[in-house]
Amino acid sequence: MLSPLRHTSRPVALVIGTGFGGLAAAIRLSLKGYDVQVYEKLDGPGGRAYVHQQDGFTFDMGPTIITAPFLLRELWTLCGRNFDQDVNLIAMDPFYRIRFDDGSHFDYNGDPYHMRAEVMRHCPSDLDGYERFLKVCERCKVLGFEGMGDQPFDSVTHLARAIPDFMRMGAWRTIYNQVARHFKSDKLRIVMSFHSLLIGGNPFSVTAAYALVNALERTWGVHSPMGGTGAIVKGLVGLLDGLGVPIHYNAPVVKIVVEDRQARGIQLADGRFIAADIVVSNGDTAWTYRHLVDESQRKHWTNSRIERGRYSMGLFVWYFGTRRQYPHVPHHMLVLGPRYRELLNDIFKRHVLAKDFSLYLHRPTATDASLAPAGCDTFYALAPVPHLDSGTDWSTQAEPMRQAVARRLSQTVLPGLEDNLQTSKVITPQTFHDRLWSYKGAGFGQEPLLLQSAWFRPHNRSEDIQGLYMVGAGTHPGAGVPGVLMSAKALEKVVPHVHA
């Protein structure tokens, strides 16, 4: 039996990964009395929210949409600190501009009068449906987000108690079907259903319970921090510094050591064994089970079960800086292609890399000019693409796709782009697989289908291994910054109590 050499009387908790979920979990565990250490594969914090600096431009590599900021403020308050002294959040208006293939657009924000006017502008007969839809979204927020988000769902009893609320949310429907019940306009159906893509789900497959995202944004707004999302990561690391919690960088965890179905610690790539009382993985959940835990120790999460899961799309992301500015482009913008349902079928069901695409265009310098050299703009253009089951050879396809994205943007919202490029960087699903250890290169873990949500999603407390816990996008409640922060709250309810 492996036995730790203890330097503390407190139980030891090891956290794998420094994404939002891992950093939040480390804070909460430290405050509960654990001796916490954090191990990170990369050379800096953030995981999918890593920050990349290139040629004077600052690129947030991952999440850029901050909603439900009270979940962040709560962490600062728990540490006796003031969030607003460390992070300056700016409210977005619009939240997003959705540009359709015909050049028309919908500016989406939290102002009820503006939103009604935008609905009227596109389809006056859909206004009553819009009002009904808002009530559906609010019900989903109260029942799904507020009622279930931080509950651990690790027993059938939790599921049984939640079934009536799932029924009240119409969770058996897809989000697109729920939207289509209230809107006749094809454009408005897109505007009101695309949100599930922000958490890795096909609107034509994801449970309608995720209408709650619409209400989250309307209630708490959409924000961006000055300095980029990395400013929040830096702030969370600062909280851990204040708690005396060390983060070990360039320290990939290659194995969770298990004896008698009990997590005993971790093994690093350099061969070191670090003993622990509990292990918390903020790594991709499917990757954690498939690659870090011996299959002989897994009765529930067998390799075949992991492989049968349905996973979110992959992400093609082109980060670029321009030597000129584009002041007419807002902070968040969707540049839609000619197809919606058919493109999503190609991505999620057929696993085919199509010639056309839709883009999420992020221009953080619309809010914070310091993220680019003077007179320049920082961007990223994100295209949902199939995960690695497509068989796409990204070593040969990345550059042709980047060129196609550049042409599309030049023809639509960034005229002269190709002549004004200053710097460029591309990541693909292969990057997610190789650098972030994301199973199948999927951007968000399992797709948030009804039968892959709540109790049906990988649990915060491992079904297989005592003393092993999960936080982050791949576990309950799911992807998105609010989801991964709430997974750390759910963790608190299932880890052993520390006795004084």
pLDDT digits (tens, 9 = 90+) for 393-446: 999 999 999 999 999 999 999 999 999 999 999 999 999 999 999 999 999 999
Comparing C-alpha atoms, which of 444, 493, 494, 484 is closest to residue 22?
Answer: 484
Q: Identify the pLDDT of residue 7.
A: 56
The predicted pLDDT at position 6 comes to 46
- Tell me whether strands 89-91 and 223-225 are parallel, antiparallel or unpaired: antiparallel
- Classified as helix, coil or strand, 400 is helix
226 CB contacts (<8 Å, ≥6 apart)? 87, 88, 89, 90, 367, 368, 370
Q: Which two tokens stand for residue 276?
A: 């622990």
428 vs 285, 319, 399, 436, 442, CA distance in Å?
20, 11, 11, 11, 10
Residue 38 confidence (pLDDT) above 50: yes
This prediction has a pTM of 0.95
C-alpha distances in Å from residue 40, one per residue of 12, 52, 247, 342: 17, 16, 7, 39
Task: Convert the pLDDT of each residue in 451-464 to its tens digit.
Answer: 898 888 999 999 99
258-313 pLDDT tens trace? 999 999 999 999 999 999 999 999 999 999 999 999 999 999 999 999 999 999 99
What pLDDT band is residue 2 in, cutting at 50, 70 and 90? very low
Token readout for 295 is 């299959």
pLDDT at res. 500: 61
What is the sign, positive or negative, of the torsion defined by CA atoms of 72, 277, 33, 241?
negative
- Mean pLDDT for the chain? 95
Pairing assessment for the beta strands 278-281 and 314-322 based on DSSP bridges: unpaired
Q: How many CA atoms lie within 13 A of 85 on its CB side?
A: 7
What is the structure's pLDDT at 160? 84
The Cα 334–Cα 110 span in angstroms is 17
C-alpha–C-alpha distance, residues 85 and 88, integer Å: 7
Report CA-CA distances (Å) from 263 to 299, 453, 467.
15, 25, 5
One-letter amino acid for residue 151 of the chain: Q
The DSSP output letter for 465 is S
Go through 278-307 and write b for each residue having 16 or more CB atoms within 10 A of its CB, e for each that does not: bbbbbbbbbbbbbbbbeeebbeebeeeebe
Other CB atoms within 10 Å distance of the CB of residue 351: 18
